[in-house]
Structure 1
Amino acid sequence: MRPISEIAGELGIPSDAVLPYGKYKAKIPLSEIKTNSPRGKLIVVTGITPTPAGEGKTTTTVGLAQGMGRIGKKVAATLREPSLGPIFGIKGGGTGGGISRVEPEDEVNIHFTGDAHAVGSAHNLLAALTDNVAQRRSIEGFSPVNVSLRRVTDVEERSLRNIVTGLGGSGNAPLRETGFDIVTASEVMAILALCSSLDDLRNRLSRIVVGYLDSGEPVTAQDIGAVGSMMSLLRTAIQPNLVQTTEGQPVFVHSGPFGNIAHGCCSVVSDRMALSYADYVLTEAGFGADLGF
């Protein structure tokens, strides 16, 4: 592997804009998205199932980026961040395979730069604040039975899919049925992938529906008063992450919305950043292959 500063430099990103997370990965601020320069061409890679050898969307995307790099094209790839659950399950890691991989794959697959943890923390903070507001009856007509928001975890556990919280007396209230989803299924993850700026992120978070009044009117994260705290957890998670292929082509790995729950594509800001520096950008689409067309 080459130092990430070299990968960023070849792409044209100024050295003082590279925020290293160790030697081989970095975050790039949104301010580095160039809006007054020619945009590259976006190439979407999608598919229903991998080959018997395990060559799927990610492996194909990385392989194409390597091939275009070998023939002298200024190319970059944009991918979703892997989720811990599938990594330790049957599916395995999400960084490609064979010699068409994203590196450092051990770090990309596990924790990476902490974005998924930030999403889970923001989501579960909203859930905790929502339960508190419902229990205290801070919003008229909004009680624990009206809460619809579930919690999230990055490692699926069958026993947590449907649970009862608040056991052990009034000090642990509210008592209600709820459950856990995987972090990639969180609406916060989908919002992180779709937002275009910090202001846009704030506006989208404020509209998350956490439950309903007795009258049927929705209660939002804005009503709960959670948006500012959620923003503090997500302020660096919005910045795309830069890594490389096994042959040194730049790869932006950012956000990880679940394919059959959300749109299944990497973040809008990582695509825009890559398109402002590379002539060709290969992006993997897990579900919404027509997104943006």
Structure 2
Amino acid sequence: MGWTTSSLNRRGFASLIGSAASLVACACGCAQAQQPAEHGGHIPGDAKSTKSTMLGAGADLLQSKGPVNDIDMYLNGFHFYADDMGRQIEAHHYCTHVNEDFFQCVIYDGNQSGARLIGIEYIVSEKLFKTLPEDEKPLWHSHRHETTSGELILPRIPGAVEHTAMATLATTYGKTWHTWQVDVHSSLPLGIPQLMMGFTQDGQLRPEIVADRDKRLGLSTADVKKSREDLAASAPPVQPGADGWLGGEPSQLVLQKTTLRNRRG
């Protein structure tokens, strides 16, 4: 199963999603009332002034949102810190399908107004993953288990459309950085970006996190998994090099001082 199939190309993928336009709107709207931000906490700062509100309203009216308008898919899934599987985060991905082999996503801790922007994820096809340098591949995680287990979902999208999308995503790979460690710093984005990974087998993701999502969204991840048994049977094995944490020595960013170069003045 590859990224491109006879029944699903970029335009076809978009039309499948677009054909359920009202449901897509609900995925980004109706679900908001059901799915609050994962982590609470007040962001420090004064309330927006009348001047700021007016400036924002003017910008909203007169300026294009550019690449933000290209977002055409909302995915709900889970990540863990590459060096600590105990730190597990529900992640709300808002993605742009750039071309047949590449997605780019912004990640929030919720799907309602005011949710925290906590990271980014790049998604590549198996074809592109194979071209990556060998020392790059361990930074990427596979999506085979996420898709076949039901952990990754397209909220409010009809089952047949979601199933087709998951068949495509099953062979992809993601590189994810969380820029806000909301599980330990809920008020402000402190620290440096952290490499995140995806789960690769049953029993790794804490069941209470899944149960909480199921309750909020009114679904059963177990039933979703059952409906994707054909994907589990047909998806090819994960490519060598991915899921670098499995080797027991995961990569993670550290901050160190260095020497300033090309200083002027």
TM-score range, shorter chain: under 0.3
Task: State TM-score, norm by structure 1.
Answer: 0.25
Higher relative contact order by CA 8 Å / sep ≥ 6: 1 or 2? 1
Task: State TM-score, norm by structure 2.
Answer: 0.26
